[in-house]
């Protein structure tokens, strides 16, 4: 059995003369001969060359835009312009057909407004494929920087007024007794008696203006935090007054 290789690896290594198998989605099919194949491993397509007159006619009809196929053949130096290598297909297998009468994307330029309505197909376009790769690289670099400097990545609770599926009944964000609320002389709730009246600090995400504060919480953080550059939010403080 011929080993499957990702297209990004094929394009980077150029294994001319080797017999390989690639799988992916058809980006274009020209002249019943040239298939532009992409598997999502990179932005580049691999050109797959077939001899349609030597293949089953019904199989060739199924090679449509964004159909999923498997191609096995020999990597050869390309004779045409636009690519260095190409796959001379010896075997084509249809893994997933695509009915273009029902499929929302068509082999043409897609507007951003249209793709916003078909969000689950965005990553199959060149534009969003590039955007998501850049986003991944930036996020990875940021997380690596903080990880290498002793920080910990964690998901802090989100305080929101939305109540979905009863989640708002799990706990309340106050230390006051709802049955015996303190009142001001004007009869309004005295929030100064709640924990929100504490000194402000900043959460790790930097959603609020950082303020340096020495506290017992800082002893649980890396030295970079203890230096006073920023302090994570701790119990008994308010993040929304900074």
What would the pLDDT profile of 38-82 be if each residue is shown by its tens digit?
Answer: 998 988 999 999 998 888 999 999 999 999 999 999 999 988 888
- Segment 109-132, tens digit of pLDDT: 888 899 888 888 888 888 888 999
Kindly tell me if the per-residue pLDDT of 140 is higher than 90.
yes
* 205 or 192, higher pLDDT: 192
| Cα–Cα nearest to 69, from 4, 137, 128, 156 | 4
Domains of the chain: 7-96 (2.40.50.140), 112-148 (no CATH), 152-242 (no CATH)
* 156 or 225, higher pLDDT: 156
Query: pLDDT value at position 161?
Result: 67
Between CA 27 and CA 8 the distance in angstroms is 15
Between CA 35 and CA 97 the distance in angstroms is 15
Q: Among all chains, which residue has been given the structure tokens 């019943």?
A: 32
Mean pLDDT computed over every residue of the chain = 78
Beta-carbon contacts of residue 138 (< 8 Å; ≥ 6 apart): none
Per-residue pLDDT band at 211 (split at 50, 70, 90): very low
* 3 or 62, higher pLDDT: 62
Least confident piece of the model among 83-92, 109-118, 154-163? 154-163
Q: Could you tell me the pTM of the whole model?
A: 0.61
| Inter-residue contact 85 to 49 (CB < 8 Å) | no
Mean per-residue pLDDT, 32-43: 92
Query: pLDDT value at position 55?
Result: 87
Long-range (24+ apart) CB contacts under 8 A made by 89-94 are 89/35, 89/48, 89/49, 89/50, 90/19, 92/50, 92/55, 92/59, 92/63, 93/69, 94/59, 94/62, 94/63, 94/67, 94/68, 94/69
Question: Helix-strand-coil percent breakdown of the chain, rounded to 5?
Answer: 30, 20, 50
Mean per-residue pLDDT, 176-183: 85
Between CA 210 and CA 242 the distance in angstroms is 7
Mean per-residue pLDDT, 214-223: 37
Beta-carbon contacts of residue 173 (< 8 Å; ≥ 6 apart): 159
Per the DSSP assignment, residues forming a β-bridge with 181 are none
94: left (phi over 0), alpha (psi -120 to 50) or beta: beta
């Amino acid at each position: 059995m011929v080993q499957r290789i990702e297209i990004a690896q094929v394009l980077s290594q150029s294994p001319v003369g080797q017999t390989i198998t690639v799988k992916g989605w058809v980006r274009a099919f020209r002249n019943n001969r040239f298939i532009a194949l992409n598997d999502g491993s990179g932005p580049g397509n691999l050109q797959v060359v077939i001899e349609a007159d030597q293949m089953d006619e019904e199989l060739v009809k199924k090679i449509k835009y964004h159909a999923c196929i498997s191609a096995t053949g020999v990597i050869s130096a390309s004779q045409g312009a636009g690519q260095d290598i190409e796959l001379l297909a010896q075997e084509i297998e249809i893994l997933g057909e695509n009915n273009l009468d029902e499929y929302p994307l068509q082999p043409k330029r897609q507007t951003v407004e249209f793709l916003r309505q078909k969000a689950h197909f965005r990553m199959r376009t060149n534009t969003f494929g590039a955007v998501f790769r850049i986003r991944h690289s930036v996020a990875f670099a940021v997380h690596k920087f903080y990880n290498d400097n002793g920080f910990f990545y964690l998901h802090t609770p989100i305080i929101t007024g939305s109540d979905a599926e009863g989640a708002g009944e799990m706990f309340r964000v106050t230390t006051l007794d709802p049955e015996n609320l303190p009142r001001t002389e004007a009869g309004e709730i005295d929030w100064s008696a709640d924990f929100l009246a504490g000194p402000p600090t900043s959460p790790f995400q930097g959603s609020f203006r950082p303020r340096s504060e020495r506290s017992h919480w800082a002893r649980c953080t890396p030295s970079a935090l203890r230096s006073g550059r920023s302090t994570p939010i701790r119990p008994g403080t308010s993040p929304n007054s900074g």
